[in-house]
Amino acid sequence: MIARPVTRSSADPPVHSWLFKRAHFRSGVFSICPWPIACAGLAICIAALPLAAAAQEKLITIGSTNPTGAAALPFVMAEKKGLFKKEGLNAATVIMQNAVVVNGVLSRNLDYGATIANFIGAAKGGLPVRVVMSLMDGSDHALVGGAAIKRVEDLKGKRIGISSFGGAPHNQTVMILRKYGMNPDRDVTFLQIGGGAARYMSLESGAIHATMLVPPLNKVAREKGFNELLFFNDVMRVPLSGLSVHVDKIKENPDEIVKMIKAVLAGIEYIRANKSEILAFLDKTWGIKSAAVREGFYTDMIDLYSRTGIVSDDLIRNVVRFVQETRKTQENIAITDITDWSFAKKANEQLKR
């Protein structure tokens, strides 16, 4: 079931115009890829990136699920500040659904996926993918409810927006509901709506009663009178954003993987070192006009960003458990069959960390 379209009056202030804005790169584009979409359609979507980018050295494509937010910003800064180019890379990010990111990497239509949980699920199923970098040491997702929703228990009988069944917002919500003694199959109705921006707009319109949101959307929602019910880190610390690749990429181009990780780590460090500039970027480019929202977004990001791109085995086991509990599977798998930190370690050595 799909939530009804969100409508807005022309009198509404354009405070959320940044939510659906495309951010164009000099060397590529933050391209929005519609869903559902087959891998053949994904190839067409990538081929539609600016010809100027294709005319340069090989275009490296990164599949991501959001054009804005904490998971997107290191990639934006890496491009905006020439950090990809410094490593000799010509990179572009394509925005799509989680499942399409995994399929794109598996079909070799994408070079990298910027998500983790779905790739760990794929690796657990025997598919040839590995996680090579983690952007964060946990999750930045918060469960946000309407003004009348004060507690998780108030969601019984309500509609909850998710990106897709099996995606991170769905899996997280299932675990939260179970923790609070509810049956996700009977006690709530899940509506597949799409990315965070679409879910926020559905929450604002009343089409849904709650959804998982990431900064800055949860901060925007709180300013609008919605309630942050809890952060998923309070339930389980699970890193969900990073870089994942096909095992053939590991064999064929290991140096490129190291360079990609170096550029993204440099993007994170740029964000840490240039708070005033980042706050101005959030205002002028992403259109986040509230100073309180910008400050809260920045603080949340800095607390979560990884300094090395490597997380502990315990956190990866959390992701495995996260996948197992939500997909009702219990297969054992070695950490080395789902992650390969050797490239991040080499990146840190070259960055003299």
Q: How far apart are CA 215 and CA 237, in angstroms?
A: 16
Tell me which of 192, 209, 234 is where a domain ends: 234
Of 124, 118, 115, the closest CA to residue 337 belongs to 124
pTM for this entry? 0.80
Tell me which of 219, 234, 249 is where a domain ends: 234
40, with CB counted inside 10 A (0-12, 13-18, 19+), is: exposed
Q: 78 and 53 in contact (C-beta within 8 Å)? A: no
153, 208: one domain: yes
Q: Please tell me the predicted confidence (pLDDT) of residue 131.
A: 97
The reply to whether 309 falls in a domain is yes
64, 147: one domain: no
The reply to whether 321 falls in a domain is yes
The reply to whether 7 falls in a domain is no
40 has pLDDT over 60: no
Q: 200 and 140 in contact (C-beta within 8 Å)? A: no
DSSP labels, 247-281: HHHHHH-HHHHHHHHHHHHHHHHHHHH-HHHHHHH
In sign, the C-alpha dihedral spanning 188, 194, 196, 200 is negative
User: What pLDDT digit, counting tens, does each position of 198-251 carry?
Assistant: 999 999 999 999 999 988 899 999 999 999 999 999 999 988 899 999 999 999
293, 227: one domain: no
Q: Please tell me the predicted confidence (pLDDT) of residue 83.
A: 97
Joined together, the tokens standing for residue 76 give 């934006």
The reply to whether 219 falls in a domain is yes
- The mean pLDDT of the chain is 84
26, 130: one domain: yes
The reply to whether 14 falls in a domain is no
Joined together, the tokens standing for residue 130 give 């590995």
Q: Please tell me the predicted confidence (pLDDT) of residue 164.
A: 81
Total number of domains constituting the chain: 2
Alpha carbon separation from 187 to 153, 154, 190, 199 (Å, rounded): 10, 11, 10, 20
Q: 23 and 54 in contact (C-beta within 8 Å)? A: no
When pLDDT is averaged across residues 15-21 and rounded to a whole number, the result is 40
223, 158: one domain: yes
125, 203: one domain: no
Q: Please tell me the predicted confidence (pLDDT) of residue 344.
A: 98
Domain CATH code at residue 165: 3.40.190.10
54 vs 165, higher pLDDT:
165
Q: 135 and 309 in contact (C-beta within 8 Å)? A: yes
The reply to whether 13 falls in a domain is no
Longest dimension (CA), the chain: 56
Q: 132 and 237 in contact (C-beta within 8 Å)? A: no
Joined together, the tokens standing for residue 207 give 């089409």
Joined together, the tokens standing for residue 4 give 């009804």
The reply to whether 114 falls in a domain is yes
35, 128: one domain: yes
The reply to whether 10 falls in a domain is no
184 has pLDDT over 80: yes
265, 219: one domain: no
58, 186: one domain: no
35, 117: one domain: yes
Domain that holds residue 148: 142-234
Of 135, 155, 136, 137, the closest CA to residue 145 belongs to 155
132, 254: one domain: yes
24 has pLDDT over 80: no
330, with CB counted inside 10 A (0-12, 13-18, 19+), is: exposed
23 has pLDDT over 70: no
Joined together, the tokens standing for residue 110 give 């994408």
Q: How far apart are CA 247 and CA 249, in angstroms?
A: 5
Joined together, the tokens standing for residue 82 give 């020439």
Tell me which of 234, 253, 268 is where a domain ends: 234
User: What pLDDT digit, counting tens, does each position of 302-340 carry?
Assistant: 989 999 999 999 999 988 888 777 666 666 788 889 999
214, 316: one domain: no
Q: Please tell me the predicted confidence (pLDDT) of residue 42.
A: 55
The 3-state DSSP composition of the chain as helix, strand, coil percent (nearest 5) reads 45, 15, 40
